[in-house]
Every structure is written in C-alpha cells, then in structure tokens.
Amino acid sequence: MTRKSEVVFTQRHKVENKRRKENLFVPFRLSWRLCVKILLCSLVLLTGCNSNDAPVSNTNTPVISNPPAGTTYPMPPTGKTASLLNMGWESGGKRSIFSEYKGKVLVLDFYATWCIPCRDSVPHLIGLQKKYEDQGLVVVGLNVGGPGDDQKVPEFAKEFGIQYALAEPDDDLVTFLLGDNDGIPQTFVFDRQGQLVERFLGFGPDTGEHLDAAVEAGLKTAAP
C-alpha cells in the first residue's frame, strides 16, 4: 500500500468511526427527548386529574356546620343518672324540662345564628310549627353557637319571624344528644310518649320532606 493510499484509508476509517459513534448516541438522544416529553405529558395529566377530581357537592346531601374553634362541651353523662327526662332548657327566664312535654310531639332543633344550613332550615321549621301546632306539635330551637352567639338570637328571630321557642339548652342535654356528633343543625323528633322517632343531621333539599314524615308519625302515637 502506498503512503497516499494509507492516508486515504486512515481518513476514511476516522470518518466511519465518527459516524458509528454518532449513530451510537442517536438512540440515547431520542430516548432522553422521549423521556422529557413523557414527563411533561405526565405532569399535565396529573394537573388535569387534580383539577377534575375536586369534590363536587351533592345537592341531595344535607349540609352540616361545625362549632367554631374553641367551643367545647363536657363529656356526656353516663350510667343511670343519664336521664333525658330531667334535662331541659331555659327561655326568657323560664326553665322547661323534657318530661313536661309528654303527650306532645317535640322537635328539638340545635342551631347557631352563624350556621348557614341552620338558617336554611328555619323557614321549614316555622312552617312545620304552623301546620301541626293544633295537633300537638312543639318546636324548640336550642342555641349551641358558642360564646356570644346567644346575644344574636333576638335579631336572628326577628330576621326570620320565628314564632317557636328559642332557648338555651342545659349542658347535660347538649352532651346527651350531641355527644357523638356536634355538627349542626341537628333535629330530634320525639313522639307523644317521649320516644325518639328520628334524628336528622344537617339540612338539605330532601330533609324537610323526611322531617314532615317523622312529625306525622309522632302525631299518630297515642298519648301516655
């Protein structure tokens, strides 16, 4: 092989080696770019899923409010001393107890003036009292709105034109009935014999209908 031929062969060999090296790196470049694209697509998909997966409220689900921070209740009474009959509430300086309402259908509604679903439930409670009052229904609103909320009750009653009694419940009554769940509103329907017909937690589009049915069931019971 001449010297000129050796030079040409060497140059060709270098060019071929360079091409081989470049070809070796092409898959890596493609893979790297593909990984970046996949990563970006994944981030977009994740963002979309998070946006679409935001909670959607069910209009048929009763809405519940929780007490304000710092509002605490003592532990529920236990044992034989835990009798609902002697628990009660106070309104306008007059104290009433549960046992006084035997023979009546009693609706106890735990509420707060700041509670939106409580406010939504008031018109129905007003209508309920007017509709069944002559048949022996008594509705009592019991404020559990925390410190200072009782001072807002007169304005609250005036705003809605509330005719049924609004009172301050005994601590024992609150813990006895709300000891397992302090969300509000909570409405308890008791029949003429003082037995619980149904307990309602929250207020939604269907709650009023079920509340009416519970009151009607209570009215059908015989007086003691």
For the chain, what is the HEC assignment?
Answer: CCHHHHHHHHHHHHHHHHHHHHHHHHHHHHHHHHHHHHHHHHHHHHHHHHHHCCCCCCCCCCECECCCCCCCCCCCCCHHHCCHHHCEEEECCEEEEHHHHCCCEEEEEEECCCCHHHHHHHHHHHHHHHHHHHHCEEEEEEECCCCCHHHHHHHHHHHHCCCCEEEEECHHHHHHHHCCCCCECEEEEECCCCCEEEEEECECCCHHHHHHHHHHHHHCCCCC
Structure confidence at residue 25 (pLDDT): 36
Domain membership flag for residue 64: no
Is there a single domain that holds both residue 215 and residue 171?
yes
Is there a single domain that holds both residue 136 and residue 187?
yes
pLDDT at 206 over 50: yes
Is there a single domain that holds both residue 18 and residue 127?
no
Q: For the chain, give the number of residues.
A: 224
Is there a single domain that holds both residue 202 and residue 115?
yes
pLDDT at 21 over 80: no
Structure confidence at residue 224 (pLDDT): 87
* Residue predicted with more confidence, 81 or 212: 212
Domain membership flag for residue 66: no
Query: Averaged over 162-188, what is the pLDDT?
Result: 96
pLDDT at 27 over 80: no
Span 76-94, pLDDT tens digits: 333 333 589 999 999 989 9
pLDDT band at 154 (very low <50, low <70, confident <90, very high): very high
Q: Tally the domains of the chain.
A: 2
Query: Averaged over 184-199, what is the pLDDT?
Result: 96
pLDDT at 31 over 60: no
Q: How far apart are CA 92 and CA 118, in angstroms?
A: 22
Is there a single domain that holds both residue 159 and residue 205?
yes
Q: How far apart are CA 64 and CA 75, in angstroms?
A: 22
Mean pLDDT over each residue of the chain, to the nearest integer: 76
Residue 158's CATH number: 3.40.30.10
Least confidently predicted of 62-76, 94-108, 191-205 = 62-76
Domain membership flag for residue 60: no
Is there a single domain that holds both residue 127 and residue 204?
yes
Is there a single domain that holds both residue 88 and residue 138?
yes
Domain membership flag for residue 206: yes
Domain membership flag for residue 194: yes
Percent share of the chain, pLDDT over 70: 63
Is there a single domain that holds both residue 21 and residue 103?
no
Is there a single domain that holds both residue 5 and residue 90?
no
pLDDT at 46 over 90: no
Q: Domain containing 161: what range?
A: 79-219
Q: Which residues pair with 12 in a beta bridge?
A: none
pLDDT at 222 over 80: yes
Is there a single domain that holds both residue 180 and residue 92?
yes
Is there a single domain that holds both residue 39 and residue 123?
no
Question: Is residue 173 a contact partner of residue 106, using CB atoms and an 8 Å limit?
Answer: no
